[in-house]
Amino acid sequence: MNIACHYAAAILPALLLVSPASPCRADEPSVAGQWHQLFNGRDLTGWTPKIKGHDAGDNDADTFRVEDGILKVSYDKYDGPFNNRFGHLFYERPFSNYVLRVEYRFVGEQIDGGPSWAVRNSGVMLHGQTPESILKDQDFPVSIEVQFLGGDGKDPRPTANLCTPGTHVVMNGRLHAQHCTNSSSDTFHGDQWVTVEVEVHGNQLIRHQVNGRTVLEYTQPQLDPGDPDGKRLLEAGAAKMLTGGTISLQSESHPIEFRKVELLELND
């Protein structure tokens, strides 16, 4: 993409990874470039798990694993019900301006004790805080969530939706405080593979695409001062406007598989 966007990562010690961004033209088409494989297809090198109730780096019950070239989120080794043990798998680097491509599918059945809203529900978190800065019993990282939903076999259920743990965005020129917002995507029933691309331009624009079609876009992701976790980051000195941060894959009680997680960085 021919844009004038400068990428730079600034680390707020042990709190939030953000990076300044200059104005950019986000309405031009992407150009072919070098895709970076965040998931190497062999193991979890470069990734750090953070599961509620556990310290960063503790991959409790082998929740995140690689088998047969697939990154899996599984619960077959849990010794009881899910009990709100929400988890996230963080990539080691922050990013600000990029295109992220994820191929995923839901499999199997939800673990006992998972919340009803989490059936065939997962996602990827963008512009997030570091795993080390998340409180031990914090449910979700402060971030922008691209929510993945699988169909129930009969009803419409779009994917690549927006959820905002500890954050807000601007949509249609107005501050958008609704926690979750549906996209205009199709519904994907069963265990079929789905490709989601997220085009991210710092604080200027985030665009969701499903199988090549734009289904949602918004601007100005920012910390929510009314949310306890967002407020904590602001009080520690984090900038309100989010211009970059961590990327993490979600564990919300329903097994999900990822066969591709790749990123095209957009530089000057």
Indicate the domain borders of the chain.
10-21+32-265
Tokens of 240: 């309100």
Residues present in the chain in total: 268
Reduced 3-state DSSP string for the chain: CCCCCCCCCEECCCCEEECCCCCCCCCCCCCCCCCEECCCCCCCCCEEEEECCCCCCCCHHHCEEEECCEEEECCCCCCCCCCCCCEEEEECCCECEEEEEEEEEECCCCCCCCCHHHCCEEEEEEEEECHHHCCCCCCCCCCEEEEEECCCCCCCCECCEEECCCEEEEECCEEECCCEECCCCCECCCCCCEEEEEEEECCCEEEEEECCEEEEEEEEEEECCCCHHHHHHHHCCCCCECCCEEEEEEECCCCEEEEEEEEEECCC
Rg (the chain; Cα; Å):
17
Question: 62 in the Ramachandran plot: left (φ > 0), alpha (ψ -120 to 50) or beta?
Answer: left
The pLDDT of residue 267 is 82
Q: Render the burial of 224-242: b for 16+ CB within 10 Å, e for the rest.
A: beebebbebbbeeebbeeb
Instruction: Report the distance separating Cα 207 and Cα 117, nearest Å.
Output: 24
The answer to whether 208 and 169 are in contact (CB under 8 A) is: no
The structure's pTM equals 0.88
pLDDT (tens digit, 0 to 9) for every residue of the chain, 268 residues total? 333 333 333 333 333 444 333 333 333 434 447 999 999 999 999 999 999 999 999 999 999 999 999 999 999 999 999 999 999 999 999 999 999 999 999 999 999 999 999 999 999 999 999 999 999 999 999 999 999 999 999 999 999 999 999 999 999 999 999 999 999 999 999 999 999 999 999 999 999 999 999 999 999 999 999 999 999 999 999 999 999 999 999 999 999 999 999 999 998 4
Tokens of 44: 């979890």
First to last CA, the chain: 9
The pLDDT of residue 22 is 33
The pLDDT of residue 116 is 97
Tokens of 230: 């967002």
The answer to whether 184 and 216 are in contact (CB under 8 A) is: yes
Q: How many Cα atoms sit within 13 Å of 4 on the Cβ side?
A: 2
- Count Cβ atoms within 10 A of the Cβ of residue 98 and give its class: 0-12 exposed, 13-18 middle, 19 or more buried: buried
| Owner of token pair 């998340």 | 134
Q: Which CATH superfamily is domain 10-21+32-265 in?
A: Exo-inulinase; domain 1 (2.60.120.560)
